[in-house]
Structure formats: C-alpha cells, structure tokens
Amino acid sequence: MKLLVLVSIALSALPAVWAQGKIWDQCGGKTWTGSTSCVSGATCVYSNEYYSQCIPSTAAPSATTTSTSRSSSSSIPGTGSSTSSAPATSGTSGTKYWFSFGDSYTATGFSVTGTQPSTSNPFGNPAYPGTNTCGNNAPNWINYAATTLNTTFVKVYNHAYSGAVIDTKLVAGFGSGIKSLTDQTNDFLNYEVQGKAYYPGWTAADSLFSVWIGINDIGSTYSNSGSRPAFNTQLLNRYFELVTSMYNAGARNFLFLTVPPVDRSPLMLGNSASARSAEKTVILDYNSQLKTLAASFASSHPDVTYQVYDTQTIFTTVLDRPSSYGLKDATSYGSGSDVAWCNTYHPSPAFHLQIAKDLAPLIKGKYI
C-alpha cells in the first residue's frame, strides 16, 4: 500500500468546533467527521481507507523508502524450507491473514469474539489503532506494519495481551483476566481454526503467525535464585509446545521476535547497575535459546518457513542514536512526539514506527 500524504485543509475552512489534530490523533478516514488537519510539526498521513493519522513530520514514513538501514544480524532467515525460508520479494494475490500473539508490546485490545477483521476494518476490534499501554490512539509496530507499510491487504487477529507471560504455571500472572500465551493460543484453537465459529478462511499459504513474548517472564524472574538458563529452557520448551499446537492446526509460516533490551528502559535505569546487568544476561540467554529452538522446530517440520527478528538490533540502534530518529534522547518518556518511551517501560509510537519500518521488509510482499 503506497503512502499518500494528504493535503492539509486550511484551518479557516474548517468548522470552528474542529481543532487541529494533535500528534497521533486521527485526521481522516471513512465516516470520520473530525478535523482533517494537524498541529504544526505533524502531517496527516493516509494509512488505509478508514484511517489517516497525524504523524510527526520527522517520523512520517516516506512514500518511497519504507525501512531504515538494518544490520544483517537483525534477522535470521529460517532454514526449514530451502525455497521460502527467506522473505518473498514479490507479492501474491488475495487477502492475507496475520495471527499475532504476545504482550503489551504488541497488544491492541482485540477480543476474539468481538467485531471481526474485514476489508473495511483490518484489525476488527477495538476501533483502529486499538488500545495499548501508550493510550487509545497510539499505534504500535503491528498497526504500522499491517496498514501503512504493507503492499497487500491483511486481516490481523491480534491475540497479544498486555501483561502476558508464556504460561502462568511457570510465571505468576499480573492479575486475573490477563491472557497468557497459553490462553491466547487456546483462543485461536477454539475459535479461529477450520470448523470453529470464527474461522475466517485462512490457509497455510496465506497466513502468518507471529510471537513476541518473554519480556514479562524475564522481568518477573531474572533475579530469582536457581539457574536462569535452565528456567529459560523451561519457558521456551512451553513456548514451542504452543507453536506446535498452531502448526498442528495448519500454521506453516512463523515470525518469532526476540526480547528487546528492556534493561535500558527508564524503569530499569532506576534500578542498580547490577540488576540491569543481571536482566541483560538473562535476556541474551533467552534470545540465544529462542533462535536455537526456532531452528530446531523448523528442522523437524520441513514444511515450515520462519524468521527470527532480533529486536535487540533496532532497539540498540535507536537508543544509541536517538537524534537520528527524531527523538531528543534515549530516556525521556511521555506523550510527546520526540520521546522514545510513552511511559517508563513501553516504547512510544515514534519508536514503534522505527521497529515496524525495520521489520516490514522481512515479511513484505508475501505476508503484508
């Protein structure tokens, strides 16, 4: 989908009750009756036919350049299939289906029994871009990847849930009602596979399954006694049991995302250097094991294609050079367009845009 920058409408032409849209506000789309202009420093950018948004001018995606430069180590092409383990370079026709699983870094508030994704509403529910820890009108990486950086239409079934861990039998949850990766997978199996009530018609060829989880598992346990690598193995064995359940239901194309360096978040910077070092060590071990198990899973399932996207690369790049991405520094947080974090632990929409731009080329053309 090519990006179209909408021409700003002169403020004098708008009804007096319409104020210019603030950064990240909606500024257009089907049935939209609010302002179609943005405050100074933002541009109204078309995402899809039902949604345009006020994007900071320094962060607005280019119509011709959709990704930042990326180290070759930021992704690890799968070897499960010699013909399609690397991302496709040309698109295929028809609707695509993206089933995503994870925590608050991906969540948009989707309910599996609510309004379903459609051609006019690719995320289903709630209203785009959904709800996450940055607010009700703050897109994250999957919003951008699926509706702004895509080249084909994709319906997104985003099961990710804020506060999620892999399995509450291994790591205590943060409260009742928070859906773990286990719960999310069960929702998929109980509602969205062939023969179930909300099966949308996906096939192995036109669907992508992404998993980004582990942040909360590690954040809750990195300082515990006992062998942390051994516990990571327990976590990831359960992780791939759930991935195998998806495979058994027909999933064949997988995107696995590593745990980012949350040891550099404002929250963790308030802790001791030794605590940050301990968490970093556990994160790196988890990521190493994830890559190994992903390769092993693909090896034992020859019809699988997969990617491991290493979030460490883009996070480190942005945090080391924030000004290159329109951010004032690596630690400020809030609702501003030039902050890296929206709160002490979650990347801002501007940061999420950079993640999406870096990741999208891995799946563009075949899955988005």
pLDDT at 61: 41
Mean pLDDT of 113-137: 92
Answer with the residue of higher pLDDT: 248 or 66: 248
Mean pLDDT of 265-275: 98
Amino acid at 113: T
Beta strand ranges found along the chain (DSSP E): 26-28, 42-48, 51-56, 75-77, 96-102, 154-158, 207-212, 253-257, 305-309
Mean pLDDT of 348-357: 97
- In the DSSP assignment, the letter for residue 184 is H
Superfamily of domain 69-363 in CATH is SGNH hydrolase (3.40.50.1110)
For the chain, the distance separating the N- and C-terminal CA atoms, rounded to the nearest angstrom, is: 9
pLDDT at 136: 76
Look up tokens 């541009």; give the residue. Answer: 43
Domain boundaries, the chain: 1-65, 69-363
For residues 73 and 288, give the distance between their C-alpha atoms in angstroms, rounded to a whole number.
13
Query: Residue 193 pLDDT > 70, yes or no?
Result: yes
**SS3 label, residue 300:** helix
When pLDDT is cut at 50, 70 and 90, the band that residue 235 belongs to is very high
Query: With left for phi above 0 and alpha for psi between -120 and 50, is residue 109 left, alpha or beta?
Result: left
Q: Of the given ranges (58-72, 162-176, 265-279, 346-360), which has the lowest mean pLDDT?
A: 58-72
Mean pLDDT of 147-163: 97
Query: Residue 322 pLDDT > 60, yes or no?
Result: yes
- Residue 109 corresponds to which tokens in the numbers above? 């508030």
pLDDT at 44: 79
Contact 108, 141 (CB under 8 A): no
For residues 163 and 201, give the distance between their C-alpha atoms in angstroms, rounded to a whole number.
30
Estimate the crossing angle of helix 181-191 against helix 228-248, to 10 degrees. Answer: 10
Query: Residue 81 pLDDT > 50, yes or no?
Result: no
Query: Residue 87 pLDDT > 80, yes or no?
Result: no
Cα separations in angstroms, 150 against 234, 238, 298, 318, 357:
36, 32, 26, 22, 10
Give the pLDDT confidence of 242-258 residue by residue, as tens digits.
999 999 999 999 999 99
pLDDT at 84: 29
pLDDT at 69: 30
Query: Residue 268 pLDDT > 70, yes or no?
Result: yes
For residues 350 and 358, give the distance between their C-alpha atoms in angstroms, rounded to a whole number.
13
Mean pLDDT of the chain: 84
Answer with the residue of higher pLDDT: 36 or 142: 142
pLDDT at 40: 83
Cα separations in angstroms, 320 against 35, 127, 176, 333:
36, 34, 37, 16
pTM: 0.80
Name the nearest CA neighbour of 124 among 32, 36, 192, 213: 192
Mean pLDDT of 12-25: 49
pLDDT at 3: 32
pLDDT at 137: 80
pLDDT at 46: 61
SS3 content of the chain, % helix, strand, coil (to 5): 30, 15, 55
pLDDT at 232: 99
H or E element at residue 293 = helix 273-300
Look up tokens 């990521």; give the residue. Answer: 287
pLDDT at 27: 73
Answer with the residue of higher pLDDT: 311 or 176: 311
pLDDT at 135: 84
pLDDT at 14: 31
Mean pLDDT of 185-206: 98
pLDDT at 112: 98
Q: Of the given ranges (45-54, 157-166, 206-215), which has the lowest mean pLDDT?
A: 45-54
Q: Is 166 exposed, middle or buried (0-12, 13-18, 19+ CB in 10 A)?
A: buried
Answer with the residue of higher pLDDT: 68 or 130: 130
Highest mean pLDDT among 14-23, 89-98, 249-258: 249-258
